[in-house]
Amino acid sequence: MIVPDDRTQANARLTAMQIGLSVLFFLLVVSFWAIQVLQHDRYLEEAESNRRKFDSLDPWKACGDCAYMPTCAGGCLTASYSQLGDVNTPTCHKPTFESAVIALAHRVSAQQETVQ
Ligand code: SF4
């Protein structure tokens, strides 16, 4: 029977510790990688969900047959959120558009009178 001396036992313990640390390091690297992959998948799912929500926004549906639809289409979504708390509700600028059209009509009329 072979009786290991202290030096052999110390070397065996050191080797076992090195193997243990290597395995631990490997598990940490694999865990970190797995977490990154899962987070990336979750990010992609969330991005796709947000894209679908954005595509379904249609505040202009509440505008009926408004004449300013081609230029306004329900207004700014960010303004809707900040002013009304809902991105799917139009922020209406109809009075502003109407006063601008009236001002434009007055200006054009005045120019035509000057020309004649
Ligand atoms: S002016 Fe008002 S009613 Fe007209 S499209 Fe814009 S938000 Fe809608």
Mutate which of 57, 58, 93, 96 to test ligand 1's pocket (most atoms within 8 Å of Cβ)?
Answer: 93
How far lies 111's CA from each of 101, 102, 106, 114, 115, in Å? 15, 14, 9, 5, 6
* Ligand 1 atom closest to residue 69's alpha carbon, by position in its atom list: 5
Q: Are residues 5 and 51 in the same domain?
A: yes
Q: Are residues 7 and 48 in the same domain?
A: yes
Residue 115 has pLDDT above 70, yes or no: yes
Residue 41 has pLDDT above 70, yes or no: yes
Residue 3 has pLDDT above 90, yes or no: no
Distance between start and end Cα atoms, the chain = 126
Q: Are residues 52 and 78 in the same domain?
A: no
Residue 60 has pLDDT above 80, yes or no: yes
75 lines ligand 1 (CB under 6 A): yes
| H or E element at residue 115 | helix 94-115
**Residue 55, pLDDT score:** 87
* Ligand 1 atom closest to residue 62's alpha carbon, by position in its atom list: 8
| Whether this model's pTM surpasses 0.75 | no
Total tally of structural domains belonging to the chain: 2
